[in-house]
Chain A
């Protein structure tokens, strides 16, 4: 307690010093002529700080132990549900997200996001961006959400629904493509929005990529750890307006090594090593009715191809080929300043997996239906009631229907965040 107090005191003193000293240090705007200038806001030297907290109550007709072992055959395995949002029947403290942002100097700015759960503290994002590169180029380096697709780079509190689309969960995992690496983006010199980007990333993803090697118990086959960045991503995004209709579309591709260990050291366990390629196409059409109302239609389609080998604990191997796809399509209607409602359709479509040219008999066309209504007392708080009718999950070999009601509450304090489109 005493420690906290002295820490706080020190912080206060430091802050005081910063506030005081800036008065002297502030550069004078030379463009002022005979104008009376106002000093810039002192607070700009303290990073923008904000905290977002998310709680939810979930009710489902399945018992918790049954829900916990559900999987989408061929896409996810039993246990992947662990640690997802709204996982527990009853109350969930989903996360608190603390963000700090500031310019470092005239050349860089720094953004960090700390993802906190009851038991964990994670540096979710920490990246610098260049501010002074010529030719409309920007470099970003550190740990960040990839700009692959439309939804990938959004933090959960900006999502329209209380969970991620099935295809994101299946191909990119609960935490999406969040990687260490570097990104280069370029804005084309044309009259409409045309952006291209390329990323070189570690490739540490639990669903489609992976850097950790493995070996079977007898060490007959050893797959080494990935040593170099092994995930390459590229995308082109474009947007144009037709009056108050805003259209945004993009195509993205990713290629990287896949190393995933499904318990190869256990009896009957196996692991996969190969190359995964992802292709994504997204389309958002948003009709801005007035300052507060809009109607938005957003869809994303993802396709995954994996070619590699399956390694079994017995020491045998098999040639693996996966061709899989899925999409979501959602409509959100903000019908008043404080109200939004939405529907979403998820479908895991293609599920073509062969081992040694032998087709695995996996279910295809697995759907989920979602509706939600959201009330925001102010820009800084929101309550969302969501219902999922999920027919995508299996308990072992038997399909299971999950009906779930989620009440999600989200609060934000600190700096007023800006809204990207």
Chain B
């Protein structure tokens, strides 16, 4: 009786596990929607791609839902943003997924393929929730999307060499299209060159830096710490001294402080989407940057 039970259990185990390894398409899980969108552009229908985080959430604070563990369990490749952006939620999920494929080449950390900026000289939580490796929101520089796309394509080829031609072709077409868009964005953004702006969180640093716009202050007091009345007085001073005209608000932080200060000083308040799907007209990575540029430049 006992023996049959053991045999039965083993048989079930083998059936269940082999069933999951017979999938034809590469299963790719992206930490954030922008990664899923770039992967989709390159791979088309050759892979199954899904994003864990929703673009409407603060990328630093994603709740580690158990359903994510089930998704990671069945993944062939996990693509993360890296630079400690996911430190608060991804590590325990990966551990609980108990998926051997996510070791080694099964995880791709995109931060290793771009030059990170704002690497703190001194690392102390006195400065708020700082990222020791630098500002992690590098995908918002459209030029960084190029090495990101190349890294994704190389990794897909490595894991799924049968589709090499598809991925190479996908990357080529994507980069062609991307370079055309880059020229348009350069043209549109030229009018804002040299301007000073204020952001809620230093989320758009790479974008602003690329187009030579200075971000002189943040509405939040320090990274991860909401504004206080005292900080708002200080912010007002900085806005006046630096002749700031635009305040950039992301879509997930409370916007009351930004509203008050822009109304009081007669500034332009721009709600910028930071990821694919964060707002309307951002259905893919091209649309996301089209929309950011449109919102920054229209009056």
Contact with B along A103-139 (1 / 0, CB 8 A): 0001001000000000000000000010111111110
Q: Which residues of B contact A41 (CB under 8 A)?
A: 132-133
Chain A's interface size range is 35 or more
Q: Are A193 and B70 in contact (CB under 8 A)?
A: yes
Q: Which residues of A contact B129 (CB under 8 A)?
A: 378-380, 416
Q: Which residues of A contact B95 (CB under 8 A)?
A: 109, 129
- A32: CB under 8 A from chain B? yes
Given contacts A31-B105, A288-B63, A377-B225, contact A134 B100 (CB under 8 A): yes
Given contacts A32-B154, A188-B16, contact A193 B66 (CB under 8 A): yes
Chain B's interface size range is 35 or more
Q: Are A418 and B88 in contact (CB under 8 A)?
A: yes
Of the listed stretches A239-247, A258-266, A270-278, A357-365, name the one at the interface; the rest are far from the partner chain.
Answer: A239-247
Q: Are B252 and A193 in contact (CB under 8 A)?
A: no
Q: Are A290 and B224 in contact (CB under 8 A)?
A: no
Closest to A240 in B: B67
Q: Are B88 and A416 in contact (CB under 8 A)?
A: yes
Q: Are A189 and B89 in contact (CB under 8 A)?
A: no
Given contacts A32-B154, A193-B69, A292-B58, contact A418 B98 (CB under 8 A): no
Selected contact of A137 from candidates B67, B98, B125, CB within 8 Å:
B98
Contact with B along A187-220 (1 / 0, CB 8 A): 1111111110000000000000000000000000
Contact with A along B91-110 (1 / 0, CB 8 A): 11001111110010100100
Q: Which residues of B contact A185 (CB under 8 A)?
A: 98
Q: Which residues of A contact B113 (CB under 8 A)?
A: 35-36, 38
Give min CB distance, A354 to chain B, whole Å.
35
Q: Which residues of A contact B252 (CB under 8 A)?
A: 290-291
Q: Are A421 and B61 in contact (CB under 8 A)?
A: no
Q: Are A192 and B70 in contact (CB under 8 A)?
A: yes
Give min CB distance, A353 to chain B, whole Å.
36
Q: Are B19 and A189 in contact (CB under 8 A)?
A: yes
- B194: CB under 8 A from chain A? no
Q: Are B16 and A189 in contact (CB under 8 A)?
A: yes
Give CA–CA (A418, B105) in the complex, Å.
Answer: 23
Q: Which residues of B contact A35 (CB under 8 A)?
A: 113, 147, 150-151, 154
Give CA–CA (A294, B103) in the complex, Å.
Answer: 33
Given contacts A31-B105, A421-B64, contact A187 B96 (CB under 8 A): yes
Selected contact of A418 from candidates B58, B74, B87, B99, CB within 8 Å:
B87
Give min CB distance, B89 to chain A, whole Å.
6
Given contacts A35-B154, A136-B98, A419-B88, contact A246 B66 (CB under 8 A): yes
Q: Are B20 and A189 in contact (CB under 8 A)?
A: yes
Given contacts A35-B147, A378-B125, A416-B87, contact A136 B19 (CB under 8 A): no
Give CA–CA (A282, B11) in the complex, Å.
Answer: 31
- A420: CB under 8 A from chain B? yes
- A6: CB under 8 A from chain B? no
Q: Which residues of A contact B111 (CB under 8 A)?
A: 38
Give CA–CA (A416, B111) in the complex, Å.
Answer: 18
Q: Are A291 and B66 in contact (CB under 8 A)?
A: no
Cross-chain pairs A/B with CB under 8 angstroms, 8 sampled: A33-B150, A132-B103, A136-B17, A137-B98, A195-B69, A237-B66, A418-B87, A418-B91
B residues with CB within 8 A of A: 13, 16-17, 19-20, 56-58, 61, 63-67, 69-70, 73-74, 84, 87-92, 95-100, 103, 105, 108, 111-113, 125, 128-129, 132-133, 147, 150-151, 154-155, 158, 224-226, 252, 254
A residues with CB within 8 A of B: 29, 31-33, 35-38, 40-41, 106, 109, 129, 131-138, 185-195, 237, 239-241, 246, 248, 286, 288, 290-292, 294, 336-338, 377-380, 413, 416-421
Besides A189-B74, A421-B64, 12 new A-B residue pairs in contact (Cβ under 8 A), listed by A number: A31-B154, A32-B154, A35-B154, A133-B100, A186-B98, A193-B70, A241-B67, A378-B128, A378-B129, A420-B64, A421-B63, A421-B65
Q: Closest 3 CB pairs between A and B? A: A239-B66, A291-B58, A193-B66
